[in-house]
Amino acid sequence: MIKIVKQLLKPFMPQFFKDLRNGYIQIRKRNPSMSKLDVLRYGKVVRVSRKMNYIDDYVRQFSKICQLIGIAMDEEFIYPFDKMVMRMYERTNICSITVDFGVVIDSDLNNIRSLLHKCQNSSFRNRELQVIDTIESLAIKICNELSAYKNIRAKELSEYFPVMLFRKPESFDEALQKILFYNALFWQMGHSHIGLGRLDVILEDYYEKDLSEGVLTENSAKEKLKSFVRLIGKDTEPKSMSIKGDTGQYILLGGIDKTGKNVHNRLTDLFLEIFTELKFPDPKLILRVNDFTSDILWSKAIECIVTGIGSPLIMNDPPIMANMSKFGYDASDVWNVGTSACWEPLIIGKSFDQNNPFSSAVPIQSLNKVILSGKNYLSFNDLYGEFKEEYRKELESVVKYLNFDCSPLFTLFFDECIAREKDFTVGGAIYAYHGTQVLSLPNTINALLNIKSLVYDKKLFTLIDCKRAIEDNFVGMDDFHTLLINTEKKFGSIDKEVLELTNDLIYFTSNVVKQLKYNGRPVKVGFSSPSYIYLAKNVKASLDGRKYGEPFAVHISPISSKIDISEILDFSSKLIYNDNCINGNVVDFILPSSYIKQPEKLVGILKSACSKGVFELQLNVMDKATLIDAKAHPENYPNLVVRVWGFSAYFNDLPDDYKDNLIRRAELYETA
Amino acid sequence: MKQLRITNIQRGCVYDGPGVRTTVFLKGCTLHCPWCCNPETLSYEKDKYIDDEKCMLFQGKQSHLCKQCERNHGIRTIDDCPFGVVEETSKDYDVEELLEILLNDSLLFKETKGGVTFSGGEPLLQAEVLSPLLIKLKEKGIHIALETTLVSPAINLKHIIPYADYFIVDFKFQPQMNLFNLTYLSTINKLYNLLKCKDVTNRMVFVDEMESYKDLIVSSLNNLGVSNLELIACHSLGEKKYIKLKMPITKVEASTNKLESFRDYLNRSGIEVFLLTI
């Protein structure tokens, strides 16, 4: 009854109340563990002003937000992120951006002011100057608040505010504080999935200087870094997008520097040690590897992976960087490749690449459509050709124009924005290559192989049977379902036919996407969509044996217990990704226990896979029995961390369908 | 041209010698250890798994594909069952064909200082056909290991020795094997001595009954000059294969207490023992 009344009154509700209502709903979504009453009591909604240009409104909101936020003064550092203050916006969220925190900590706001004063575009200039004024005011406010505290740490911190905004940090401690300050502001403005980038590179000089001058010891530096990481991961719930843990916060280690030299310093090791020790699920680590990555670094990474936290994800520099250059990124920029939260490559500090703004293309739906048409195809090639036409339409339909939000805040720190006098989102950033994803590639390949084998080669079933199986979800067709599951040739096998079919479909995808443009720019495509559960929910059964609503396969991963890690790595190294297939291609595998007991041998397996050209690797350590028990008795496993898609999370925090999917996959790979 | 009869080629093995290895399981063995987890390798002759769990009829499910099956009084034998009820346990490989498969991982072998391990069954029984393959692997610089019981004519070992770098010798001092006799001991002694200039890992499966024969076992090991040993408790992971091969299952136990006590005794007797877990 109440619901009906609410629905009836809705059109008459003034906009003001609608906005507030939406705002509180958002705050509640971001803070599901809080009561409705507390959300109403403590929540602060910063509404949209429809009288203003949306970029000017952002600047207004920023000022308001900085006045409203409450700041905890009792932590090791100041982290001005207030989960109860919500910025409202009506445009598409800009997401998964990695700011170059090296640029941020080197920044002097007065220098930026000088640059802005030279700008011709007065509205741009005034907006950005206002943003700087707001940042400064917030820093002064923090300094004033800190002065009320008498402890030594408050005094130390107060010395950074606001002066740190106008200089390069004078210490490791100040550098950490400066990163935290700005990182919190980015989050506060509603820009989600903020990557932290290459902290081992960025912080190295500060770390080494303080150690050599005796300002810090290795232990005290380690403790500071732990506090830093804890603060970044403290607000996992309000920072998460679809499910708890999905914050997109990553710290990137290794890779090469601007001169092409391999990066491996004491901080690279220290981050890995800290994560191995404390098993943080958020933020997560990504390790960029290349031919010069040392065995020591590989071993430390494996040591961290076998703790089960799913970190670090391995990015293989050579194939990624080569493809990025071919695609259109300047060869002199690709040394600084980072990711969009999960694994989709971009250039740190230069990219407004939105790598996941569109819905994923789902080729298995296209194949189902062809089968459900009831048309008879005389040969497999006829059917495959028709499927490709359907799939082409599917791919063409996913790239749609989106009205992105703006970010005068990012604009201050991204290369070229001030020189171009444009917001980061409307031509300011050097790169804006958006990307799309293909979901269900392994399911589609398996379904095609099954149709070829069972319908055309062995003639055991007909296309009419296939249609009925999809429509009836295999009810009364146990024999057909059994055969579909058990056919010999599966995605992930190095069988010639499997590889040729997979490469053909990847090549086709690449060519179709090549024709698509967003704002006149080419679009990227990847085969590692995070939506393998969510988007599968209403999809009918498919001829790989998947039943109605069951999840799709995860990324570039086998759906067969017969394919072991050696084979899937071999398989994925034989996949041919064209230059636009760079939007994340992750082999996701659950490690067998024998490798966990002999990590040094795992180093060799992964190194050799990378030498052969595997794109990206994500490794989980789980056993089925533990996961089943953890689902039944969550109280016994408060710290069980698992890797989900691009992020790690506490197992207990996951929805049941995600838990079940992990249990199923652990079972599958245990027998591999 | 003679072929090698192989039941499995397993890549990425970490327990069968140094580094990461591809293990090739050769068919045929004269010993029939009751705990053997690879019963499909016992006979050299071609044989088949019959997996009734895959049979629709056994599952009580209907299928038009089963109408012609012999189990439905039809004319089609179960060998042609589309559901894979019958599966060959082995496949014969030409040397060149197998070489190509094994070289797939040469980069990994180099990276991890691993290589190829031939196991079984008893790999020495196919030594004559195996040696040309070993020559080719050697030419490619691949490290070669053999997991063997040494229960084979000495000439077979002599075929292999020039090319194999590493041996895992599996001793059979379990009472069930009834091999505390001079024939076994002298054969082993002779062949084991041929391995003096090779890297050797000594290995033995533990079963509870060994506890009562520990003195005899220690003296046999001492006679061979064995000073260290990997001990692995027998397990029943191969049980399903026995069912599919329609072979009787012999229950053999290995309790943790007895295993540890046996290990301690060997350690006290000067034989260093390392417990292997799977």
Q: In this structure, what token pair is assigned to residue A551?
A: 């999840």
pLDDT score for A652:
81
Q: Is the alpha carbon torsion for A133, A161, A139, A253 positive or negative? A: positive
- At residue B236, the pLDDT reads 80
Average pLDDT of chain B is 92
Percent of chain B with pLDDT over 70: 99
Q: In chain B, which residues have their Cβ closer than 8 Å to the Cβ of A291?
A: none
The string of pLDDT tens digits covering residues A313-334 is 999 999 999 999 999 999 999 9
Angstrom distance (rounded) from CA A451 to CA A502: 15
Higher pLDDT, A624 or A377: A377
Mutate to test the interface with B, among A465, A485, A494, A608 (most CBs of B within 10 A): A608
- Between A472 and B179, name the one with better pLDDT: A472
The Cβ-side half-sphere exposure at A256, using a 13 Å CA radius, reads 16
Asked if pLDDT for residue A672 goes beyond 60, the answer is: no
SS3 of A552-604: the string is: CCCCCCCCCCCCCHHHHHHHHHCCCCCCCCCCCCEEEEECCHHHHHCHHHHHH
Crossing angle, helix A266-278 and helix A295-304, to 10 degrees?
20
Give pLDDT, residue A632: 81
Q: Do A445 and A501 contact (CB within 8 A), yes or no?
A: yes
Report the helix count and the strand count for chain A, using DSSP H and E.
28, 15
Across the interface, whether the CB atoms of B107 and A612 are under 8 A apart is answered yes
Checking if the pLDDT of A639 tops 80, the result is no
pLDDT, tens digit (0-9, with 9 covering 90-100), for A564-621: 888 899 999 999 999 999 999 999 888 877 788 888 888 999 999 999 999 999 988 8
pLDDT-based confidence at residue A371 (cuts at 50, 70, 90): very high
Task: Mark yes or no for CB contact B54/A564 under 8 Å.
Answer: no
State the Cα–Cα distance between residues A94 and A428, nearest whole angstrom: 14
- For the stretch A378-397, what's the b/e string if a residue is b when 16 or more beta carbons lie within 10 angstroms of its beta carbon? eebeebbebbbebbbebbee
pTM value?
0.91
Query: What are the beta bridge partners of residue B229?
Result: B273
Q: ipTM more than 0.95?
A: no
Cβ–Cβ contact A563 with B under 8 A:
no
* A448 has a pLDDT exceeding 80: yes
Nearest chain B residue (CA) to A602: B20
Smallest CA-to-CA distance from A306 within A630, A593, A639 is with A593
Mean pLDDT of the region A488-493? 93
- Can you name the residues that pair with B201 across neighbouring β-strands? B168
**Cross-strand pairs, B76:** B69
Three-class secondary structure of residue B126 per DSSP: helix
| pLDDT (mean) for B73-89 | 94
**A3-17, A596-610, B65-79: least confident range:** A3-17
Which of A:108-127 have CB within 8 Å of B?
A: none
Per the CB < 8 Å rule, is B61 touching A479?
yes
* Tens-place pLDDT, residues A79-114: 999 999 999 999 999 999 999 999 999 999 999 999
Whether residue A11 has pLDDT greater than 80: no
**Mean per-residue pLDDT, A474-482:** 94
Q: What counts of helices (H) and strands (E) characterise chain B?
A: 9, 11
Residue A562 near chain B (CB below 8 Å) = no
Residue B236, token pair as written in the block: 């029943």
How large is the average pLDDT for residues B93-99?
96
CA distance B278 to chain A (A): 7
Share of chain A above pLDDT 70, in %: 98
pLDDT band at A626 (very low <50, low <70, confident <90, very high): confident
pLDDT for position B278: 63
Q: Ramachandran region of residue A256, left (φ > 0), alpha (ψ -120 to 50) or beta? A: beta
What tens digit of pLDDT does each residue of A179-207 get?
Answer: 999 999 999 999 999 999 999 999 999 99
- Strand stretches in A328-430, DSSP E: 337-340, 344-347
Mean pLDDT, chain A, as a whole number? 92
Q: Is the pLDDT of residue A208 over 80?
A: yes
Q: Which residue has the tokens 């012609």?
A: B68
What integer pLDDT is reported at residue B207 of this predicted model? Answer: 93
**Partner residues linked to B116 by β-bridges:** B22, B144
Q: What is the pLDDT of residue A671?
A: 56
C-alpha B268/C-alpha B273 separation (Å) is 10
**What is the rounded CA–CA span in Å between residue A183 and residue A166?**
17
Contact list, B112 vs chain A (CB under 8 Å): 601, 603-605, 608
Cβ neighbourhood burial of A664 (10 Å; 0-12, 13-18, 19+): middle
The tally of CA atoms less than 13 A away on the side-chain side of residue A198 is 23
Q: Is A670 near chain B, with CB under 8 Å? A: no
Instruction: Please say if the pLDDT value at position A445 is more than 60.
Output: yes
Check residue B45 and give left, alpha or beta (phi > 0: left; psi -120 to 50: alpha). Answer: beta
Chain A interface, best mutation among B10, B20, B274, by max A CB count within 10 A: B20
Partners of residue A570 in chain B, C-beta under 8 Å = 104
Whether residue A3 is predicted with pLDDT greater than 80 in this model: the reply is: no
Closest-CA distance, B129 to chain A, in angstroms, reads 27
**pLDDT for position A569:** 92
Interface of A with B in 597-636 (CB under 8 A): 597-598, 601, 603-605, 607-608, 611-612
**pLDDT per residue over A219-267, tens digit each?**
999 999 999 999 999 999 999 987 888 899 999 999 999 999 999 999 9
For A135, the token pair is 């940042």
More confident residue, A166 or B213: A166
- Between A172-188 and A199-212, two packed helices, what is the crossing angle to 10 degrees? 150
- Which pLDDT belongs to residue A646? 64
